[in-house]
Amino acid sequence: MRPDVEIDVEGLRRTGTQVQDSSASVRDIVAKERTQLTVAGVAAQWAAGPVIGKQADSWSVYLQDLAERIRLCGAGMIGAAITYQLTDQESADSITAILPTPRSYHGPHMGAAE
C-alpha cells in the first residue's frame, strides 16, 4: 500500500520563487563587491598582485555559477509545483470522464429525486 502524500503546491511555488529571488541577490552582491577586489596603486607592482586578481576572478566566476545553480533550483521547485498541479487536475478530469455524476437522493428509503 502506498503512503498518503500531500503536496503543498502553493507553498512549493512560493519557496521556489523565494529561492530564485535569493539567487538574484547573490548575483547583485557579487557584481557590486567584484569592483572592490582589484589590486591597484603600489600594490599592483607586487608579485602577489596578479595572483590576488586571478583568485578574485576565480571567486567571482564561482559565485556567479553558484547563483545560477540556486536560480535553477528555484525554477525546478516551481516546475515541480506546476507538474503536481497539472497531474492532479488531469487525474480529476479522467475520473470525472469515467464515472457518471451520482444522482441525488432524498434519503435512504425514498429513492431518487425527480
pLDDT of res. 82 = 95
Let me know if residue 97 belongs to a domain.
no
Residue 114's pLDDT band, with cuts at 50, 70 and 90, is low
Let me know if residue 103 belongs to a domain.
no
The one-letter amino acid code at 21 reads D
Let me know if residue 108 belongs to a domain.
no
Residue 113's pLDDT band, with cuts at 50, 70 and 90, is low
State pLDDT tens for residues 47-103. Answer: 888 888 888 889 889 999 999 999 999 999 999 999 999 998 888 888 887 877 777
The one-letter amino acid code at 5 reads V
Q: Give CA–CA dist 97/29, Å, rounded.
A: 53
Let me know if residue 61 belongs to a domain.
yes
Q: Give CA–CA dist 88/50, Å, rounded.
A: 57
Domain enclosing residue 60, as ranges: 9-87
DSSP string for 1-34: -PPP----HHHHHHHHHHHHHHHHHHHHHHHHHH
For residue 104, what are the contacts with CB-CB under 8 A and spacing of at least 6? 112, 113
pLDDT of res. 105 = 67
pLDDT of res. 38 = 75
Lowest mean pLDDT among 6-20, 31-45, 65-79: 31-45
Domain count along the chain: 1
Which tops the pLDDT comparison, 16 or 32? Answer: 16
Output the CA–CA distances (angstroms, integers) from residue 45 to 40, 41, 55, in the order listed. 8, 8, 17
Let me know if residue 60 belongs to a domain.
yes
Question: Which grid coordinates are listed for 73?
Answer: 533550483
Let me know if residue 81 belongs to a domain.
yes
Question: Which grid coordinates are listed for 72?
Answer: 535553477
Let me know if residue 13 belongs to a domain.
yes
Let me know if residue 31 belongs to a domain.
yes
